[in-house]
Each structure stands twice: as C-alpha cells, then as structure tokens.
Structure 1
Amino acid sequence: MSVRPASERLRSWEHLTEWPMAAAALLFLAAYAWEVLADLHGTRRLYAEVVMDVVWALFAVDYAARLYLAPERGRWFLHHLLDLAAVLLPVLRPLRLLRLIALVSVLHRGPGTALRGRITTYTAGSVLLLVLVSALAVLDTERKAPGASITTFEDACWWSLATVSTVGYGDLSPLTTTGRGIATVLMVAGVALIGVVTATLASWVVSLVTEENAEEEAATRAQVAALSAQVAALSAQVTALQEELVVSGRPPAPEPSRRS
C-alpha cells in the first residue's frame, strides 16, 4: 500500500477543513460581537467565553495538524505567521474568514485579471473585517476607561473607518494602551490598502492600454496580410496574361518609356 506524500496529505486536510474552520471563525465573531455589544455579565458572558474558547481550540488543533503535515515545517511556519497569530491573538481569529474569499471566483477573463480580482476581493474583505473587529475591540477596551470618548458602537465604527482610511479627524481617540495598539494596526492597514488599490488600478490601466495596442497591432497585421494577398493575386494575373500572350505569338505590350 503506497503512502501519500506529505504535501498531498496537507492539501487534503486543508480541503477538508476549509468550510468548517470558516464556520468556526464566523461563530467566534458572532460570540465576540454578542459579548461586546450586549455587554454581557454572569452566565451569558460565560456562554460566550466558552464558545470562543472552543473555537480557539479548533484553530489550535487545525494549526498543529497542518504544521505536522507540512513537508517542510520550518518554511511552512514562516509562511503562515498570520495563522499562528490567529491562534495566539484572540482578536485575529475572525480573519480566518478570509479563506472563504479565496473560494469566490471573480473576473475570469484571464490569469492577470483573475489575479487582480482576487487581490481586490482579499483587500476589500480583509479591510471590512478588520474595521468591524477593531470597532468591537476598541469599544470593549475603551468604554469603561476614565474620560473615554469611544463609548458606543457607532462611535467605534466611525473611529475605525476614520483611522483605517488614514484621515484621523481627532474627534475620537483611544486612551488605553490596547486601544492605541489597535489604532496602530489600523493605520498600517490603511497605508497598505492605499498601496494595494493604487497598484491594482495601475495594473488595470496598463492592461487596458496593452489590450488596445494588441488590437491595433492585430488589425494592422490583418490589413498587411490582406494587401499582400491582393498583390500576390495581381502578380499571378499578370503572369498568366504574359503566358497567354507568349502562347498566342503576340509580343507583350512594351512598358511605357520613362522620361528623365
């Protein structure tokens, strides 16, 4: 009985756990949002914490299994630091939902366009998710701090959007160390977002120009080919007429003299 290579076993595991882990991430996000928005206490808070702990355990088992199945564990570890962060940092666990976005087929006109579509989808999905999770996290951190300005979910969403867009009106700002750490992540994500959007737009414009040039070149080549065919046909007709004149014994018509 043949043993499957480690890379194939890893792909099989990832394919098997893709949707269950995405559902677990959604469950974690729902429990976390319920705990923060409802400001749970007592038994209901305990229920939410148990749900998040179970989801965390699922992420830990999945990460350990994929690390074990990886053919080159050191290289796999370095290329999956975000997955490690999703296990170690609870607030990042919902980012596992981004794996769902990879399943969406968009813009299938060609490999380049499909790649730009995936990049756009990843960027939009990750930013929206980051804004939502950051709003929940900063609200959970700030609303009980003395002198806090972020005390409602609406304020938290407004602050999160203003921060990730690098606008930063200054009307709302975190006071705690954790809140400022969240703000730092949001600002870095905003700068990265601008870079991705700019690069994607530039790539789209270049592809349009390239396609237009390719169409013009194709039209020019078609015109040249048509003219070449016409010239070849005329040459064949002239040759045939000359042969007919030679066969009939009539000399071909003299070429008109060129005046100097």
Structure 2
Amino acid sequence: MKDEVNPRLRRWEDRTELPLLVASLVFLAGYAAHVLAPGRGFWPDLGFVAIWGTWLCFVVDFVVRLVMSGMGPLRFVRTHWLDCVVLVLPLLRPLRVVRLYNAMQRRHNEPRLSLHARVITYAGLSSVLLGFAGALTVYQCEHDAPGANILTFGDSVWWVAETLTTVGYGDVTPVTPLGRTVAVGLMACGLALLGAVTGSFSSWLVQVFTRGDEKGGAPEE
C-alpha cells in the first residue's frame, strides 16, 4: 500500500506533526545550551537530556511510520530520504517546521497562499533554522581551534549570514575540517535558497505584468 493513501499513517502524521515540531525546536535549544553554556551550572546537563530525549522521539516516530507504511525498509528509505537524513543529522530536524507549514496550508485541499509566497516562506524558514544550527556547529568546532578567527558566537552568526547570502567577505573563515564541511553545505543551501526566492519573485512579477497587459491597464499590485 502506498504511503500517500495509507489512512492510518496519514492520521499518525497529522497527530504527531505539531509535537514533533516542538521536539525539533527543543532539540535545537538543547544543542544551543550544550554549545553556548558549557560548565555553567545545570544548563549543559539539561541540554544533553533535551538532545537525546528528542532524538529518541524521532527514532520512535520513524520506526512507527516505517511499520505503518507497509513498505520494506529500503523502499521506505528511498521514498522518505529526507527523513533519513535528518534522523542521521539531527541539527536538520528543525526543518520539519516547513513540513508543518505545508500541512497547514493544504487544509481543505486548497493552499491558502500562492505558490510564490509559499516558496519564499519555505526559503526564509529554512535559512533561519539552518543558519542558527550551522552557527552553533561552526562555533563549537572553531572557537578554540589553533589559528581560528571565529572566536565568539557572534562571529559565527556573522559568518553564516555572509555564507548563506553568498556575500563571503572573507573576514572570518573556518579552519577546521568539520567547520569547512559545514561551510560547503551552507554555500550549497545559500545558492539553492537564493535561486528559489529569486526565481519565484521573478515569476510572480512576470505574471503580474502579463495580467496587466492582457487587461490593457496598469499592473495589479
């Protein structure tokens, strides 16, 4: 039975979407506490509990959906590859907010926002969530590395903003292998997100002026 028409699986996903979104944000908050507050009272321990507790929630959800789908493991992985990626790379879990947003917009079988607005919204949400997760990761592996120039979390946030927007001033750069690996991923995401926003906005402008020409008047706002 296909995942798209499995009513039990669909009901499970609908009921767990919001709790899993909260778990995603708790995971990111726990990781932030672990990175930004080392040795400061109970915060690192609380962050550790949040990280592994929410990870367990996602593992349980993944297993339940695999069983309910009626698919074999390999087929399920092929058709749910993004879920597999975020299961292995938990810092990408907050991107589930995009999935929740999509589910909310599809209620009553009609998206309430235009395709262009949804693309821009998805790109904005993805940029913020990926940027924050990337800044935490880069700061964690760079701030005490020999020869590093990303020494504070503020430096890391500034570097992420440069990277995602493809500006790349070069005033701060990662020097560790993991930091540079994160940089490559953020560069690719920045290009993809920037292209999605630019293409969607350009398409919207073309449609606006086309409607205006067809009506023989000024373009609609």
TM-score interval for Structure 1 and Structure 2 normalised by the shorter chain: 0.7 to 0.9
- Residue 45 of structure 2 corresponds to residue 13 of structure 1: no
**TM, length-normalised to structure 1:** 0.73
- Give the corresponding residue for 1:61: 60
Whole-angstrom distance in 2 between the partners of 1:111 and 1:61: 30
Alpha-carbon offset, residue 47 of structure 1: 2.9
Counterparts of 1:157-196 in structure 2, within 5 Å, are 157-196=157-196
Give the stretch that moved more between structures: 29-38 or 177-186.
29-38
Whole-angstrom distance in 1 between the partners of 2:104 and 2:9: 21
Structure 2 gaps, min length 5: none
Answer yes or no: is the 8 Å Cα contact 2:33–2:43 preserved in 1.
no
Give the stretch that moved more between structures: 177-186 or 29-38.
29-38
Give the stretch that moved more between structures: 95-104 or 146-155.
95-104
- Give the corresponding residue for 2:27: 28
Higher relative contact order (CA 8 A, sep 6+): 2
Alpha-carbon offset, residue 198 of structure 1: 2.0
* Aligned residue pair count: 210
Give the stretch that moved more between structures: 121-130 or 76-85.
76-85
* 1:168 partner amino acid: G
- Give the corresponding residue for 2:119: 119
- Residue 135 of structure 2 corresponds to residue 140 of structure 1: no
Counterparts of 1:42-61 in structure 2, within 5 Å, are 44-61=43-60
Answer yes or no: is the 8 Å Cα contact 1:6–1:69 preserved in 2.
no
Summarize deviations over 1:139-176 as a string: whole Å, max 9, x none. 01111211211111110000000011111111111111
- Give the corresponding residue for 1:90: 90
Answer yes or no: is the 8 Å Cα contact 1:163–1:190 preserved in 2.
yes
RMSD: 2.6
What is the SS of the residue equivalent to 1:172?
coil
Summarize deviations over 1:111-134 as a string: whole Å, max 9, x none. 796222111111110011111111
Whole-angstrom distance in 2 between the partners of 1:21 and 1:113: 24
Whole-angstrom distance in 2 between the partners of 1:83 and 1:97: 13
Whole-angstrom distance in 2 between the partners of 1:23 and 1:15: 14
Alpha-carbon offset, residue 9 of structure 1: 1.2
Alpha-carbon offset, residue 98 of structure 1: 2.5
Give the stretch that moved more between structures: 88-97 or 24-33.
88-97
Answer yes or no: is the 8 Å Cα contact 1:139–1:152 preserved in 2.
yes
Structure 1 gaps, min length 5: 218-260
Alpha-carbon offset, residue 25 of structure 1: 0.6
Answer yes or no: is the 8 Å Cα contact 2:24–2:54 preserved in 1.
yes
Larger Rg: 1
**TM, length-normalised to structure 2:** 0.85
Answer yes or no: is the 8 Å Cα contact 1:98–1:125 preserved in 2.
yes
Whole-angstrom distance in 2 between the partners of 1:42 and 1:191: 40
Whole-angstrom distance in 2 between the partners of 1:18 and 1:101: 10
Distance 1:39 1:22, change over 3 A: same
Alpha-carbon offset, residue 46 of structure 1: 3.0
Summarize deviations over 1:223-257 as a string: whole Å, max 9, x none. xxxxxxxxxxxxxxxxxxxxxxxxxxxxxxxxxxx
- Give the corresponding residue for 1:234: none
